Structure 1
Amino acid sequence: MADFFDHLNDILFLDIETASLTEKFEDLPERIQEEWLKKERLIQSSADQNEPGDLYFDRAGIHAEFGQVVCVGVGYFQWKKKDKKLVFRSKCYADPEERELLLEFKALLEKKKWILCAHNGKEFDFPYLCRRMLVQGIALPEPLQIAGKKPWEVRHLDTMELWKFGDYKHYTRLELLASIFAVPSSKDDLDGSQVNTTFHLEKDVEKIKKYCLKDVEVTARVFLAMHPQQEELEIEIIQLEDSKKDHKD
């Protein structure tokens, strides 16, 4: 049990929310417009009757070349051995300038030798962050550098991959895992399909941040459920509002 909690202290759970680079397709630079139209032809079905650019608002945000990171939620556990209690501290990095929020997140990654964990992180969150950092001229922090590393040297965990148990065809939504493990849902006020509208049209970044932090907590609780302990643990949730506040551990 002690070894598990020693390991748990080093895991940084994270989730990102993304949106299209611009509200309107027409606002993209001309060269990027041309590239999106090529991408659009690949992702639309033959039955779609869309005008060029119609899919941009709903689909561009999931592609790092045409999207942006609007917030990064993070959280980590601290084990209070005396009280037999876990404290989960979380906060969200958000800034009107994507480069600034990515620099703040990079600074966190450089404070400690973190193990990163996200749901579907290996296929979405981690590569998306890497691509947007490079687009913004930011050198990748060590935890996101995987080129040249052996598989066991890459400190990335993925709750979806853990649930696959080697079944490479098996895709499982975080909400489904939360349901079967009786973890409270993060989808009460918002879901991923609404982020672009909430960001560009409603201008409600605070709502996105709250949703993002809920997803981080759900991911962390699902991870714990995948590593059941002999006794039930109390978990105290602490959200840090100031994204510039230092992590001391």
Structure 2
Amino acid sequence: MQNIVVVDPPRASTEDAARLGDYGVATVHEAAGRVGYLGPRLRPAWPGSRIGATAVTVLCWPGDNLMIHVAVEQCRAGDVLVVATNSPSTDGLFGELFAIALQRRGVRGVVLGCGVRDVAELREMAFPAWSTAVSAQGSVKATAGAINVPIVVEGQVIHPGDVIVADDDGVTCVPRARVPEVLTAAAARLAKEEASREAFRRGELGLDRYGLRSRLDEFGISYVPFEDSATAEETR
């Protein structure tokens, strides 16, 4: 690993990132073709936060947050700090003091492929954080890593400048080059979902709205009167 800091990588538009954040993780993930989701282990430190922001990527050593200190200077308004370690770690590499410094720079939040701590303080200051663990385990500042290089978090490759969308459903990544396409698809999906909401409020069933009733035979599903069912036999 090269111990480098890549300065001013190209970023997606902060406005586009914010719009994707408004759509939410589930909609954006589906609109992107069901790719980019970082999986169920990444959970918010406190509920109710939602962001869409451009990634500043950090690669640290386990138990060592030196490069997060270096990364703060590379962040600007509309960014989200995304931290990976070069081998598995649950140590609490990020807490309140980092959040104060990042919030001062207009950073929207942090996504950690490791641990977070000071959860109560982060909630009180309304600084969003997603992590794979909550841990009070402290860290050192001893080993160099890299900033604004491609990293892997929960199996997903994240490049600096990509858009990160995060909310109570988890975290998803939209590559910078795909942002306009995913924005269009997300808007179309939202309109389709709203039409379905109205239909379901009127009593329409998903079986009919999604054209599933005519395909039940394909799935091998049949309707059987209770009297002829195995359940009836078991209760006799």
TM bucket normalised to smaller:
under 0.3
TM-score for both structures, normalised by structure 2: 0.27
Query: Which has the larger share of helix?
Result: 1
TM-score for both structures, normalised by structure 1: 0.26
Query: Which has the larger share of strand?
Result: 2
